[in-house]
């Protein structure tokens, strides 16, 4: 970032941690080793938050994933801790970062693809081509939502945003919120107060981010 020969800008794509957790659980078998590595990489000096449901690892089989779900959720603590540090640095940027960092929410990209795409391209002093705008619209206006991991396809934006609200149990959601409350607050992701609130898909859980 300090190299005068470079004009480096950082675009940080973020997503609701609850959706990230849901995706990691859905891809549990492909990511089990990676989740274990993430969990093991945490700083041993930092006190680790306990699981809200101490029996989750043993009782997880009824959720369908057993220990792999346990590790997928555990990885979120490390991921969100790292994310919080990045966002707090961006919120009070040092001189070398000012004007060179942009956080982009996945949710804004799929709900308002053209507006968000133009904002991103403008940040790096580029113009969006009509072909790219058409591509962005097509990718967020697909017929459905694929349940297969690691598949890039056109998706229904509304379904893509709300999938975690039906895929995760309320206990899993509260666990992720416990781990990720700080980056969620900075990024404008509202926490839920009840299972009924989770299932009410007419209510958006997005507000204006601090970044």
Contact 2, 117 (CB under 8 A): no
The pLDDT score that the predictor gives to residue 69 is: 78
The pLDDT score that the predictor gives to residue 62 is: 45
The pLDDT score that the predictor gives to residue 23 is: 86
* Nearest in space to 64 (alpha carbons), one of 161, 147, 177: 147
Contact 130, 40 (CB under 8 A): no
Q: What is the pTM of this model?
A: 0.83
Instruction: Please list, in sequence order, all residues whose beta carbon lies within 8 angstroms of the beta carbon of residue 151, skipping any fewer than 6 positions away.
Output: none
pLDDT tens for the chain, 211 residues long, are 889 898 899 999 999 999 999 988 887 666 666 766 777 776 666 656 556 655 554 344 444 444 557 778 888 999 999 999 999 999 999 999 999 999 999 999 988 999 999 999 999 999 999 999 999 888 888 666 655 666 666 767 778 788 999 999 999 999 999 999 999 999 999 999 999 999 999 999 999 999 8
d(CA 118, CA 121): 5
Query: What residues does each domain of the chain span?
Result: 10-199
């Amino acid at each position: 970032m300090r190299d005068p020969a470079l004009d480096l800008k950082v675009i940080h794509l973020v997503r609701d941690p609850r959706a990230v957790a849901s995706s990691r659980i859905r891809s549990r078998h492909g990511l089990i080793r990676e989740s274990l590595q993430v969990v093991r990489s945490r700083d041993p000096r930092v006190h680790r938050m306990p699981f809200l449901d101490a029996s989750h690892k043993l009782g997880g089989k009824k959720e369908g994933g057993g220990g792999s779900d346990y590790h997928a959720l555990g990885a979120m603590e490390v991921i969100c801790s790292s994310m919080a540090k990045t966002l707090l640095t961006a919120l009070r940027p040092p001189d070398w970062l000012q004007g060179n960092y942009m956080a982009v929410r996945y949710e804004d990209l799929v709900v308002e693809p053209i507006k968000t795409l133009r904002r991103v391209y403008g940040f790096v002093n580029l113009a969006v081509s009509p072909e790219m705008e058409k591509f962005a619209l097509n990718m967020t206006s697909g017929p459905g939502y694929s349940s297969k991991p690691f598949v890039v396809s056109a998706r229904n934006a509304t379904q893509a945003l709300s999938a975690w609200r039906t895929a995760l149990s309320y206990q899993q959601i509260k666990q992720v919120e416990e781990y990720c409350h700080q980056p969620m607050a900075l990024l404008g992701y509202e926490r839920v107060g009840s299972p009924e609130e989770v299932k009410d898909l007419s209510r958006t859980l997005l507000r204006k981010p601090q970044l």
